Amino acid sequence: MCGKPLNAKGDCVACLLRTGLDETAVESKPAILAFGDFEVEQQPDGSCWELGHGAIGVTYLAADKVLRRRVALKVIQVPSAARGSQAVRDRFLREARAAAALRHPNVAAVFQFGTSPDASHCYYAMELVEGETLAARVRRDGPLNAKEALKIAIQISRALMAAASHDLIHRDLKPSNIMLTGDSDVKIIDFGLAKAITDAGGEMDLTHGEFVGTPTFASPEQFGGGPVDARSDIYALGGTLWFALTGLAPHPGKTLEEIRDRKTRDGLPVAQLIGRKVPEPLVKLLRSTLAIDPGKRPASARELMEALELCRRSLTRRSGVRSEEAALRSEAFSRALRDAKACAGDPESLQALFESAAKKAAAVSKKPFKRNWAYLQTMLRLIRAYHRGEYRQVSNDALVWIIAALNYLVDPFDLIPDDTPFLGLVDDAHVVELVTDKTRRTLDAFMTWETAAR
C-alpha cells in the first residue's frame, strides 16, 4: 500500500500502524444510505437494516423522510455495463409505475420508485408488512392443514384477480413472496416487479437467458422465454399451495435445467398430498392448476378463486356444527345485519348509519383491528365513494352487508349483550369469513373501479 516492505504474513505493518492514528477512521457510523425520500435505517451496530436479500436486490427497512413512515425499500444495484442505459432505466420505471397502480388489501402497496442520480441503483418503496413469509411459517411450524392453506390461497387468488384487471402479472409468486400477518392474512410482495427487478439488475446467469422468476415455482412456459400470461401466476399459486400443504415443492431440483425437465417430463408426486391427507377436491384442483399446458389450468384468477372457495366450503361442511361461541357471534352479526336492513328502505336512516359506521371506522386505531384492517379500509372507502355519489355500482343488498360488516368489525362489543359470558373471548375470525364471503365480490369490483379511476 505505502511501498514499505511487508511482514511474513504479507501485511503492511506501517499502514496498519497508521490506521491507529487515522482520525477519519473514527467515523464508525457509516454514512446514511439514502434513495430519494428514503433513508435506510441502521442497526444498533451501525450496519444497514436488511429485511431480505435476493440474487439481485436487497430489501432494507427505511424511513420515508417526507411522510414520516417506515417502508420496505428494495434496492437493485444496476451492473456497471448497464448504468448508462436509458432503456434499462425507462423499462424499470415503466414497470414500477404499472405495479404501483395496483392497490389491494392482499398486495403490499408500492408507494414510490426511482433511480439514483448516478443511475447505479433502482429502488422502490413498499408498504412495510410486519409478519413472516409463508416459507418461514412452513419452515417453522411444518406444513399447514388444508383449511389454513386454502385461506391463504384464496387471498392470493383475490390479489391475482385485482392484478388481472390491470393486465399485471407477478411472474415470481412463491412462498417467500407471500407475507403472512396476524392470523394468516396475506400480503404479496414485489407484485408486478419481478421483470423490472431482473431487467434493472441485468446480468443474470447466462444459462438463465431471459428467464424471470424462481425456477422451483415458475410455470413451464416461463422457461421458454416466450410470452407468459396470468396463467403462469396461477401455476405458481398451485406450486405455492402445494408447498404450504406438504412443505415440499412439487418439482424440486438443483439446476434450472433439472427443474425444467422435471416439470415438463415427470408427473406430479400426488402421493405427497395423499400422505398429508389433503382432501380429494383440493388434490384435483392442484392437478389442474399445475397442468403443463396453460390451457388446462383454470382460465382466470376468478375461476381459480371460485374453485378454491368450493373446496373450502366442502371442508366447512365436513367439519360439522359450529360451536356455541361461534353461533353467538353470528347472532351478534345477525343483529348488525338486521339494523342495516331496517335502514335500507329509509334513505335518512341509511345516511345516519353510513355516517356512524364511517365515523367509527375512522376513529379506531389500526392496532387492535390489524387483522381486519384491510377489509375495514376498503369498506370505508366504498361507503365514502358511494356517499359522494362517485360510485353507485353496488346493489342495495351488498351495501347493507357492507354497512353491517363495517359496524360489526369496528365495534362488535356494541352488538353483543353485556351479559354474554364470552365477551372477553371474542375472536371474530368466523364473522370475517362470513362477511368476506358475502361482500368480497362487491369489494373486488369496487377496488377494480377505484384503481381504474386513479
Partner 1 sequence: MFAAGRSEAEPEMGGAALAELCQGYWAPLYGFVRSRGHTVHDAQDLTQSFFAYLLEHRVYARANRQKGRFRSFLLASLKNFLADAADRERTLKRGGAQVFLPLHEEQAQEAESLFQTHSGRGNEDWLFDRGWAEALVAAALERLSADYKREAKEQLFKELRTFIAGGAEPLPTYAELTDRLGITESTLRSHVTRLRARYREALRTEVRRTVDSEQQVDQELRELLHVLMEM
b or e along 13-34 (b: 16 or more beta carbons within 10 Å of the residue's beta carbon)?
eeeeeeeeeeeeeeeeeeeebe
Q: Give the C-alpha distances (Å, rounded to integers) separating 144 from 137, 184, 454.
A: 9, 11, 38
Please answer whether residues 430 and 436 qualify as being in contact, where contact means their C-beta atoms are separated by less than 8 angstroms: no
Minimal distance in Å, beta carbon 204 to partner 1? 13
C-alpha 10, offset from chain centre: 51
Please list the helix, strand and coil fractions of the chain in percent, rounded to the nearest 5, in that order: 55, 10, 35
Report d(CA 117, CA 65) in Å as an integer: 18
Please report whether residue 2 would count as binding partner 1 according to CB under 8 A: yes
Give 33 or 270: the residue with its C-beta nearer to partner 1.
Answer: 33
Choices 14-22, 88-96, 302-310, 399-407; region in contact with partner 1 by CB under 8 A: 14-22
Binding to partner 1 (CB under 8 A): which residues in 169-198?
Answer: none
Residue 48 or 445: which CB sits closer to partner 1? 48
* By the rule CB under 8 A, 5 interacts with partner 1: yes
- 178 and 156 Cβ atoms separated by less than 8 Å: yes
Query: How many of the chain's residues bind partner 1 (CB under 8 A)?
Result: 40
Host H or E run for residue 41: none
Q: Is 258 in the site for partner 1 (CB under 8 A)?
A: no
Binding to partner 1 in span 68-87, by CB under 8 A: 75, 77, 80
Q: Confirm whether 172 is a catalytic residue.
A: yes
Q: Are 189 and 57 in contact (CB under 8 A)?
A: no
* Range 299-358, binding partner 1 (CB under 8 A): none
Q: Which residue has the cell 427505511?
A: 62
Query: Phi-psi category of 129—alpha, beta or left, where left has phi over 0 and alpha has psi -120 to 50?
Result: beta
Q: 236: which residues sit within 8 A by CB, 6+ positions away?
A: 170, 172, 173, 174, 213, 217, 218, 219
CB of residue 329 vs partner 1: minimum separation in angstroms? 48
Query: Nearer Cβ to partner 1, position 35 or 235?
Result: 35
Largest CA distance in the chain: 94
Query: How many angstroms separate the CA atoms of 160 and 181, rounded?
Result: 18
The amino acid occupying position 84 is G
Supply the minimum distance, in Å, between the C-beta of residue 371 and partner 1: 35
* 396 binds partner 1, rule: CB under 8 A: no
Least spacing, CB of residue 8 vs partner 1, in Å: 6
90 binds partner 1 (CB under 8 A): no
43 makes contact with partner 1 (CB under 8 A): no
Q: Is 270 in the site for partner 1 (CB under 8 A)?
A: no
Q: Is 293 one of the binding residues for partner 1 (CB under 8 A)?
A: no
Binding of residue 22 to partner 1 (CB under 8 A): yes
Angstrom distance (rounded) from CA 452 to CA 210: 31
- Does 66 interact with partner 1 (rule: CB under 8 A)? no
Compute the least distance from the CB of residue 2 to partner 1, in Å: 7
Closest CB 193 distance from partner 1, rounded Å: 17
- For position 288 contacting partner 1 by CB under 8 A, the verdict is no
Tell me how far CA of residue 251 lies from CA of 109, 239, 254, 323, 404, in angstroms: 31, 9, 10, 40, 45
State the cell numbers at 42. Answer: 441502521
For residue 395, state whether it binds partner 1 (rule: CB under 8 A): no
Q: Taking CB under 8 A as the rule, does residue 62 contact partner 1? A: no
Q: Which of 11, 37, 90, 172 is flagged as catalytic?
A: 172
Q: Rule CB under 8 A: is residue 97 a binding residue for partner 1?
A: no
Residue from 53, 65, 296, 387 binding partner 1 (CB under 8 A): 53
For partner 1, which is the closer residue by CB, 74 or 166?
Answer: 74
- Nine cell digits for residue 291: 397442468
For the bound state, the minimum distance from the C-beta of residue 17 to partner 1, rounded and expressed in Å, comes to: 5
Spatial separation of the C-alpha atoms in residues 231 and 235, rounded to whole Å: 6
Binding site for partner 1 (CB under 8 A): 1-2, 4-22, 25-28, 30-31, 33, 45-48, 50, 53, 58, 75, 77, 80, 120-121
Active site residues: 172
